[in-house]
Amino acid sequence: MNAYLLLANGMVFPGRSVGAQGVTVGEVVFSTGMVGFQETLTDPSYYGQIITQTYPLIGNYGMNRDDMEAWMDAHGVKTLEEIRGCARSAV
């Protein structure tokens, strides 16, 4: 499904929705980490924010559903890898 990031200055960034769908409003913040994206997504300090990952490939080792405790409202990445390399990965 198509998704859009609309900024207060009128800029629009098109993308696609993966997972949860709906409308959210929040402060856009960024993470520059090359690894540890699951830890970023489950960090309570991101509550109510929209996280943008600056590293171009996110998800290549998957995520473990048992460790999911998402706090952020949305997550933006350039390339979402759908082939997972971790045996514990379920998401």
Q: pLDDT 10s digit of each residue in the chain, 91 long? A: 888 889 999 999 888 877 777 888 889 998 888 877 778 878 888 888 888 888 767 666 666 666 666 665 665 666 665 655 555 555 5
Q: Give a yes or no: residue 2 inside a domain.
A: no
What's this model's pTM, rounded to 2 decimal places?
0.63
64: left (phi over 0), alpha (psi -120 to 50) or beta: beta
How many domains does the chain contain in total? Answer: 1
Q: Give a yes or no: residue 85 inside a domain.
A: no
Q: Which residue range forms the structural domain that includes residue 50?
A: 27-80
Q: Give a yes or no: residue 46 inside a domain.
A: yes
Q: Give a yes or no: residue 19 inside a domain.
A: no
Q: Give a yes or no: residue 86 inside a domain.
A: no
Angle value at C-alpha 3, between 18 and 71, nearest 5 degrees = 55
Q: Give a yes or no: residue 40 inside a domain.
A: yes
**Running DSSP on this structure, what letter comes out for residue 19?**
S
